[in-house]
Amino acid sequence: MTGRRTGKAGMTAGTDGGGSVPPPLSLDDVDRAIVTALCEDGRLSMRALAARLHISRAGAYVRVQRLEQAGVITGYTARVDPQRYGLGLSAYVYLNIAQPAWRGLLTRLIAIQEVEHASLVSGDTDIVLLVRTRDVATLRELVLNRFQSMPDVQSTQTVLIFDELGHVPPPLGPAAPVPPGVALPGAVPPGAAPAAGAAGRARTAAGPTGT
C-alpha cells in the first residue's frame, strides 16, 4: 500500500489525459542510479545519495531537481502495511465499461478512497482497480452499491488477494552508453573525493531529508 494522496512510490505511468504519453527524458547511468536509489529509499539525504553514487552533493541536487521537474520522479511517499493500517481485505476489481466514458470514469474512480490504483488495460477487461477495504461487508458495499451503480460500468468481476509477495523496487533498464570523452555532470573523477557542494535541500518525512 502506498500513500497515494500524498505522492507516489516507485514508478508510475501517466498520460496527459488525451491518451498521449510524453517522450522519455534522456537519462545517463548516473540519472538511473539516482532513480534506483530513491526507489529503494526515498528518504536518502543528498549527502548519502552523493556518497553512494560517488558524485558531489551539488551534482546530486541538480540531477534530482532535473528528474523531478521533468516528471521522471513524480513524488515521495511512505509504504504502508494495509493490514496494520486496518485495511484487512484487498482485491482486484475488473470493470467493463461503455467505451467513450473511460476518461471521466477513471477520474471518478481514482477519487474513491478505497481505490489505491487504477489502470486502463487491453483484453477482455477495460479497467483494473486495486482496492483495499476493512472487511467483506465494506468490499461488498463498494462493488455493488458504488461501482455497479455508475451508469458507465457495464459489469464487474472481483478477485480477492490472499497474500502479497512484498514490495520490490521496479527493474530499471540499462542506460544508453555515454560517448567516450563526455563528462557526466556531477561525476567525481576516480580517486578524487566528492566536493562539498551545496547542502542537500530538506524534504518532508515522506521524502529525502536534507541532512
Per the domain annotation, does 203 fall within a domain? no
Per the domain annotation, does 28 fall within a domain? no
Overall average pLDDT of the 159-187 stretch: 61
Tell me the β-bridge partners of 93: 129, 158
How much is the pTM? 0.65
Tens of pLDDT, residues 37-85: 999 899 999 999 999 999 999 999 999 999 999 999 999 988 889 999 9
Per the domain annotation, does 177 fall within a domain? no
Per the domain annotation, does 77 fall within a domain? no
How far apart CA 47 and CA 202 sit, in angstroms, is: 11
Tens of pLDDT, residues 95-109: 999 988 888 898 899
Per the domain annotation, does 93 fall within a domain? yes
**How confident is the model at residue 100, as a pLDDT?**
83
Number of compact structural domains in the chain: 1
Tens of pLDDT, residues 78-98: 888 999 999 999 999 999 999
Contacts of 111 (CB under 8 A, 6+ apart): none
Per the domain annotation, does 89 fall within a domain? yes
What is the residue range of 102's domain? Answer: 82-160
Per the domain annotation, does 106 fall within a domain? yes
From the number of C-beta atoms within 10 Å of its C-beta (0-12, 13-18, 19+), residue 122 rates as exposed
Q: Which SS3 state, helix, strand or coil, does residue 49 take?
A: helix
Q: List the CATH number of the domain containing 144.
A: 3.30.70.920
Per the domain annotation, does 17 fall within a domain? no
Task: Select from 130, 126, 124 the least CA-distant residue to 93.
Answer: 130
